[in-house]
Structure 1
Amino acid sequence: MELRHLRYFVAVVEEQSFTKAAEKLFIAQPPLSRQIQNLEEELGAQLFERGSRPLRTTTIGRFFYQQAVKLLTNAEEIKLITQRASATERTINIGYGGSLLCGLLPRIVYLYRQQYPHSNINLIELNAIDQIQALKEGRVDACFSRVRVSDLAIKRVLLREEPLIAAVHSSHPLSTQKSISLNNLKDEQIFVYPPSDGQSYATQIKSLFLEYGMEPKRFSTQADLQQSLGMVAAGEGICIVPESVRIMQFRHVNYVKLSDSAAMSPIYLIVRNDDEGELARPLFDCVYQVYDLEAIEYDRRVF
């Protein structure tokens, strides 16, 4: 049970409606209903009378509401006292893979700034291998990455899987299709990034083809995502990118859905093993608040 679940419950009680509570919390109604259902299952008690209009709490629900309000009030007081006590500002350095700025990372950082106004956040773009080294050396405090790199010095948690899509020049016959498969791309010039001998997004894309028994011969490594899309815009080939990259609009570049079930890109949150939760827990909380708002399915994980 987390404080945000108590906030969700209190809002539903006070609004006497899941719909109005969802509007107040800026959350879609289905994930809000699921969170309340999960809360009831965790408590082993029914908190609301089913079918009541307006929505009413059960006897246990009323008791839980009173306790939840007290806990939330105490938590807010503790937060304010602690913030005042730590008058000096703290800078948190977060590493990230380039394409993640196209997705929800900016919203997560914005929410973190709002909830922890005494913290400064410094975003540093790093490839997968450099992220791990920077964590171990203390140059960054946490990283958001698409690449699974194992190291005994770090903790890595899968946040979610994002679908992959193909970036195709508008003159290409495949650009008008609703969806295509990797098999349609095996003979194409495929741009991958970044240049690296170790684990990287480029090796993930190559491995994806191998998983389906294909080994395209025409891979070309580019410096980064923007350069790869620039080559697609020039009509030189195609590039496989995460779905959130759609927001990057290049003239003559169309994005086409990939139908293969394994065409997914994982997103990880990575911290050092000696992180006892001081940084990780607030980051996780902001991630899941944004996921709730976007109605994104996830397995809740905390340290």
Structure 2
Amino acid sequence: MELRHLRYFVAVVEEQSFTKAAEKLFIAQPPLSRQIQNLENELGIQLFERGSRPLQTTPAGQFFYQHAVKLLSNAEEIKSMTKRIGSLDRVITMGFVGSLLYGLLPRIVFLYRQLQPHLQVQLVEMNTTEQIQALKEGKIDVGFGRLRISDPAVRRFMLREEALMVAAHSRHPIAKRTEGVHLTDIVDEDMFLYPNTPQPNFSTQVLSIFSESGLEPRNTKTVREIQLALGLVAAGEGICVIPRSADTIRFPHLHYIPILDSTAVSPIFLTIRNLDESEEIRILFDCIYQVYDLEGIPYQRKIFKAES
């Protein structure tokens, strides 16, 4: 059995037709049919329900399809990683969500550049969902995000949890409560959420935090990005929930108040490909923990084993 047999089989399953699959693969239909028949003979089972329209897999065929897709995905992952490792000009590309630039990510990347002067470090802004796909396609090597998205092709490490705050105009009653507020205190306020990119995103994360406490904000409006949300808050239009690190964004009359609920946190994740155990990734982890130590930020060190 060869990878091309798996590609042929997957194409037939997804197109539900030998004719359409042959067109997609740019081969004639008779050779494709023979390859599938040879595959069935090798396995000793029938993969397709004969005579079904559109073409359907047998239970065994469906099982084989699911694992064939995984094998093909792993093969592409191995190919992209091998190309990167064999490249003379070593490049590490990091995907990140924009809000992390207000926190410690710039310091981590700067330290990493000092320790890895032979590497070209590239930063690409993208949401967490885009990062997962980019990792699988070999377009990035590391992703920094806030959402808990699982995929069998990647490994996700939670670096720490960042407390959330509420932004309000200085004349808003909440601004006087400098010691902090609870979610129940702000659930009925006019609230700006961000971003307005395809979900899931940070706005859905904020809403889920309310939901877990049995609360549902009803007066919400989703805007493009955090700067726009905070500008509207500074104009007295409402309030906004942000990660603590974003309190460095300054507008006149804008105040930040801690949210006291223990659930009001936003996790920060680092995601890599499953097969990536390179020395470059281990050093990146070291840089992260070194910055956390300097800032006195609690974290649980993840054991990352690099190849010897």
Q: Normalising by structure 1, report the TM-score.
A: 0.69
SS of the equivalent of 2:164 reads: strand
CA distance in 1, matches of 2:231, 2:136: 34
CA distance in 1, matches of 2:129, 2:259: 27
Q: What is aligned with 1:256?
A: 257
Structure 1 stretches of 4+ moved >6 Å:
none
CA distance in 1, matches of 2:249, 2:184: 25
Question: Between Structure 1 and Structure 2, how many residues are aligned?
Answer: 218
Please list, as runs of the form range in 1=range in 2, the aligned pairs for 1:136-285 lying within 5 A after superposition: 136-178=136-178, 179-285=180-286
Q: What is aligned with 1:131?
A: 131
1:88 deviation in Å?
4.7
Pick closer, same or farther for the CA change 1:286–1:248 going to 2, 3 Å. same
CA contact (8 A) 2:128 2:143 kept: no
Letter in 2 for 1:118: H
SS of the equivalent of 2:216 reads: coil
CA contact (8 A) 1:284 1:302 kept: no
CA distance in 1, matches of 2:104, 2:139: 23
CA distance in 1, matches of 2:298, 2:128: 25
Q: What is aligned with 1:12?
A: none
Whether 2:119 is the aligned partner of 1:119: answer: yes
Q: Normalising by structure 2, report the TM-score.
A: 0.68
Q: What is aligned with 1:98?
A: 98
CA contact (8 A) 1:281 1:302 kept: no
Q: Percent identity?
A: 50
CA distance in 2, matches of 1:150, 1:238: 31
CA distance in 1, matches of 2:193, 2:247: 17
Q: Deviations over 1:200-231 (max 9, x none)?
A: 11111001111111111112111111111111
Letter in 2 for 1:128: T
SS of the equivalent of 2:139 reads: coil
SS of the equivalent of 2:108 reads: helix
CA contact (8 A) 1:98 1:225 kept: no
CA contact (8 A) 1:167 1:253 kept: yes
Pick closer, same or farther for the CA change 1:87–1:212 going to 2, 3 Å. closer
Pick closer, same or farther for the CA change 1:98–1:87 going to 2, 3 Å. closer
Q: What is aligned with 1:70?
A: none
CA distance in 2, matches of 1:137, 1:87: 17
Letter in 1 for 2:143: C
SS of the equivalent of 1:121 reads: strand
CA distance in 2, matches of 1:223, 1:265: 19
CA distance in 1, matches of 2:155, 2:165: 29
CA distance in 2, matches of 1:278, 1:222: 40
CA distance in 1, matches of 2:141, 2:198: 25
Structure 2: 5+ residue runs without aligned partners? 1-85
Q: Cα RMSD (Å) of the superposition?
A: 1.6
CA distance in 2, matches of 1:116, 1:246: 31
